[in-house]
A and B are shown apart, each in its own frame.
Chain A
Amino acid sequence: MKFTLKIWRQENAKAKGEMISYDVAGISPDSSFFEMLDTLNQNLVMTGGDPVAFDHDCREGICGTCSLYINGRPHGPVKGVTTCQLHMRSFTDGDTIHIEPWRAKAFPVVRDLIVDRSAFDKIIQAGGYVSVNTGGVPDANTIPVPREKSEAAMDAAACIGCGACVAACSNASAMLFIGAKISHLALLPQGEVEAAKRVQKMVASLDELGFGNCSNTYACEAECPKGISVSNIARMNRQFIGAKLFAEKEKIVRDSL
């Protein structure tokens, strides 16, 4: 197969970027999207060009490193897969393919197609954990969890942190990412203890990091390669309102003492 690629090239965070056109030929339909880009890069190296920088690592759809905006969609045209699991048979011979990085204020471009997603790490650092130390925890089976809850928690915990939800959102909102983590922990008794504090701290971090607000377009759910549901955003919102009320009630009690 052969393709014309229009790829975003940008030397570093400060440089001005532009779309550059490349041709690749002799691509097997069984090749993955990245193997197609590998071929392009090999050609560029051999002809003295500058290979295209893109993020990738496990190439089996679980590490969440890959991040391409392909023909206007995060992770390309096939639903439920990451770019690394996209195969060239999903395209037509002779296609022109547009490849861009994630576009969001909170994810500045590092080079070409690579963006800086450390804002996601900062959200988790703000409260995406249960505050237990190694050692001194009870036997695992002293904490029974209803199977349905455990399954729902697992559905939310399947998030790979790739950032497609942010890239898909017209407001560059991280509500699905944060909603998934808050739901995962709030659904389990282990996470319930500090649920109110967690949701407040994590939501507060969103504004600081430059993510936008949610306006319920559900583009995040539609483009999530792991099928994370927007119901997690609703659960987070309930948690957030509950936490606010709880905090106010606590204040009234404190003031009256």
Chain B
Amino acid sequence: MTRLNARIPEGPVASKWTAYKSASRLVNPNNKRKLDIIVVGTGLAGASAAASLGELGYRVKVFCYQDSPRRAHSIAAQGGINAAKNYPNDGDSAYRLFYDTIKGGDYRAREANVYRLAEVSNQIIDLCVAQGVPFAREYGGLLANRSFGGAQVSRTFYARGQTGQQLLLGAYSALSRQIALGNVTLFNRRDVLDTVLVEGRARGIITRNLVTGEIERHAAHAVVLASGGYGNVFFLSTNAMGSNVTPAWSAYKKGAMFANPSFTQIHPTCIPVHGDTQSKLTLMSESLRNDGRIWVPKKVKDVEKLRNQSIKPADIPEEDRDYYLERRYPAFGNLVPRDVASRAAKERCDAGFGVGRTGVAVFLDFADAIKRKGHDTIDALYGNLFQMYEQIVAENPYETPMMIYPAVHYTMGGLWVDYELMTTIQGLFAIGECNFSDHGANRLGASALMQGLADGYFVLPYTIGNYLSTEIHTPRFDTSSSEFTIAAQAVTDRLQQIKNCGGKESVDHYHRRLGKIMWEYCGMARNDAGLTEALYQLTELRHEYSRGVRIPGGLDEYNPELEKACRVADFIELGELMVRDAQQRRESCGGHFREEFQTSEGEALRNDDKFAFVAAWEYKGREVSANLHREELQFNEIKLSQRSYK
């Protein structure tokens, strides 16, 4: 257990970051030019980090699989970004944002990191405004705020329903400026397939040029992974089609520990699955729950009539509707946190009250809100979302209730990092959704954008300097060294092996099967027997996959099936680790719900005595179980309590 040291600075939580910054070592400007940094990923975390490091004078190489850095999936975030500005004068503060984040994460995040996140949140807003991000404004010209995800203060800044897009374009523009200045070099359409270690330190990566198929070697004094989350392990998720765990997984296999892999967030308001050929899921902003009422029929015969279309939702009288969130949680009603709302929807559908053709959906009804507030007000608030829904489902939400169902949306787990955002490999950093650090077992709305930008703009540029200050005498690396040659050869061998396995099924065939196993046994509700079954099925799947997949085309050309094949191979292995993690955590917390551990009312039951720790897994080999390391969580500022939304 000695290997895990979070290196949290001494002192009271509110002054730790200041103390750290004052004591950390610096690199002088002349030396910065001699130091190379690799950044993998160009989402909010990667783009902001690459831009900021370029501005400081380091030589940065940035990589993305997309054709342009502007397309990273942060762009799809809708709702907003939190900050403790307290502009509305409603009593917000860094401490409150810190408190809410720890509590929302169900007490499974590290206090020191979360406090720092809350502390730098205000600087993010200042910087984004200076970059020209067009946040929503009041008539007086100052910034507008809204309350989000049931928060008691209005601390969310937003740009219509496209906050992620606007923040990412801000970071992308800063990055573009550094590219033009020559401080950052961009490598687009690249898959990062391995991390290279020299004498135990991260010194580079192996990439595949997706257009030419060339295997390339890149060296640097430090490597930063900002490769996002792994929600696509479920096949269907709100992630982009290309989102993958491969860079993080390659680091895991080289010795970076992977923390809390089973902590995934299932978002309650997504558009339900339409059928077998579905390729991805679309999120509807959580803000809809501010005015929409969620219900299913009380009577099974109404469910049947809806399914054979002999009645419409509006034909069901008020007394025959079950507004189950309002019934179960009178205090918070439809605004309970994401994990609670998701599980409640599953419970009703599993009990046979689900609506829609598939029976796997619930209603989100705006009829009352339209009556109360008027058509125009609802249109102003949600017009673009209603349009999007109609475009996808071909039903008008003004006339008939929306249908929604939970979908995988975000992964709180990720590479274990210390206070400096460094993994258990020296010189390898992980930022944004790629790391595990700030959201505990459940992420609050509008906190992902905050964390990505906090890490990239305001945390990593300081902490990486502290590491690199010891590297100024290290000359630039030669990529013809044996370490790079061995790593590049291993990547080539692996690709060849996948290509030549001579199977008959497509990659998607296996990916869908993987998704089904994960969703069934390691999704919204988990239990010991199911997890054991999942582990068995995943081992089978892994073996079948290694000899059953068919890849057309060659290695040295544009080959999307080959790209997918590498990603899915890693997802299958990750799935096994997620299941193991879910199995060892014999408690329910946040997004992790173990059916054996619930209150008599069906609510999550934590076990703080035994499980107030971060589970960090160390890779031991393909056929050997990973080793579990525990980082005990200390709560000095906040008293642990049961979340209650009744």
Contacts and interface: CB of A to CB of B under 8 A. Distances in A.
Nearest to A188: B132
Given A62-B75, A65-B66, A188-B132, A145 B127 contact: no
A142 to B, nearest CB: 9
B137 interface: yes
B424 interface: no
Interface in B215-273: 238, 240-242
A129 B240 contact: no
A151 B279 CA distance: 34
A202 to B, nearest CB: 11
Contacts of A34: 279
Nearest to A129: B173
A141 B169 CA distance: 21
A257 interface: no
A85 B552 contact: no
A59 B283 CA distance: 11
Interface in B170-189: 172-174, 176-177, 179-180, 186, 188
Nearest to B160: A154
A38 B279 contact: yes
A42 B165 CA distance: 32
A12 to B, nearest CB: 7
A57 B242 contact: yes
A131 B177 CA distance: 8
Nearest to A57: B240
A114 to B, nearest CB: 7
B637 interface: no
A134 B560 contact: no
Contact of A59 (B172, B279, B391, B561): B279
Given A58-B76, A118-B188, A124-B176, A134 B136 contact: no
A124 B506 contact: no
B166 interface: yes
A130 B131 contact: yes
B51 interface: yes
B141 A146 contact: yes
B162 interface: yes
A188 B55 CA distance: 23
Given A48-B552, A59-B240, A63-B240, A125 B280 contact: no
Interface centre among B211, B238, B277, by most chain A C-beta atoms within 10 angstroms, is: B277
A117 interface: yes
A62 B282 contact: no
A140 B174 contact: no
Given A48-B552, A185-B132, A190-B131, A118 B279 contact: no
Interface in B72-98: 72-73, 75-76, 85, 87
Given A35-B278, A50-B553, A190-B130, A130 B67 contact: no
B439 interface: no
A191 B279 contact: no
A51 B552 contact: yes
Contact of B277 (A28, A49, A81, A150): A28
Given A50-B552, A157-B166, A184-B132, A150 B506 contact: no
Given A110-B558, A117-B67, A125-B180, A63 B76 contact: yes
Contacts of B278: 35
Interface centre among B131, B188, B242, B388, by most chain A C-beta atoms within 10 angstroms, is: B131
B457 interface: yes
Contacts of B51: 134
Contact of B68 (A30, A120, A184, A185): A120
B130 A63 contact: no
A73 to B, nearest CB: 17
B282 A60 contact: yes
A124 B69 CA distance: 12
A140 B126 contact: yes
Nearest to B55: A133
A116 interface: yes
B328 interface: no
A151 B165 CA distance: 15
B557 interface: yes
Nearest to A48: B552
Nearest to A43: B506
Contact of B279 (A32, A132, A141): A32
Given A56-B241, A150-B137, A157-B166, A121 B69 contact: yes
Interface in A77-99: 81, 85, 87, 89
B75 A118 contact: no
A214 B132 CA distance: 27
Interface centre among B136, B176, B242, by most chain A C-beta atoms within 10 angstroms, is: B176
Nearest to B387: A80
B127 A132 contact: yes
A180 B600 CA distance: 57
Interface in B134-171: 134-143, 159-160, 162, 165-166, 169
A31 interface: yes
Nearest to B70: A161
Contacts of B72: 63
Interface in A50-80: 50-51, 53, 55-65
Nearest to A120: B68
Contacts of A12: 557-558
Interface in B28-53: 48, 51-52
Contacts of A63: 66, 71-73, 75-76, 240
A55 B127 contact: no
A124 B173 contact: yes
Given A57-B240, A62-B75, A150-B134, A125 B179 contact: yes
A144 B142 contact: yes
A219 interface: no
B176 A121 contact: yes
A114 B141 contact: no
B394 interface: yes
Contacts of A59: 240-241, 279-280, 282
Nearest to B165: A62
B458 interface: yes
A240 to B, nearest CB: 19
Given A38-B508, A118-B67, A53 B558 contact: yes
A129 B54 CA distance: 15
A53 B560 contact: yes
Interface string A92-124: 000000000000000000110010111011001
A60 B448 CA distance: 19
B602 interface: no
A60 B279 CA distance: 11
B188 A35 contact: no
Interface in B432-467: 457-458, 461
A128 B192 CA distance: 28
A114 B388 CA distance: 26
Given A35-B278, A60-B76, A125-B180, 13 more contacts: A12-B558, A30-B394, A46-B504, A51-B560, A53-B560, A59-B279, A85-B388, A121-B69, A125-B177, A137-B129, A139-B126, A141-B142, A146-B137
Nearest first, the 5 A-B pairs at minimum CB distance are: A144-B141, A129-B173, A137-B130, A140-B129, A125-B180
Interface of A: 11-12, 27-28, 30-32, 34-35, 38-39, 42, 44-46, 48-51, 53, 55-65, 81, 85, 87, 89, 110-111, 114, 116-118, 120-121, 124-126, 128-135, 137-141, 143-147, 150-151, 153-154, 157-158, 160-161, 184-185, 188, 190-191
16 contacts: A12-B557, A45-B506, A51-B553, A51-B561, A57-B241, A58-B73, A59-B240, A59-B279, A62-B75, A121-B69, A125-B177, A132-B127, A134-B174, A154-B159, A157-B169, A190-B129
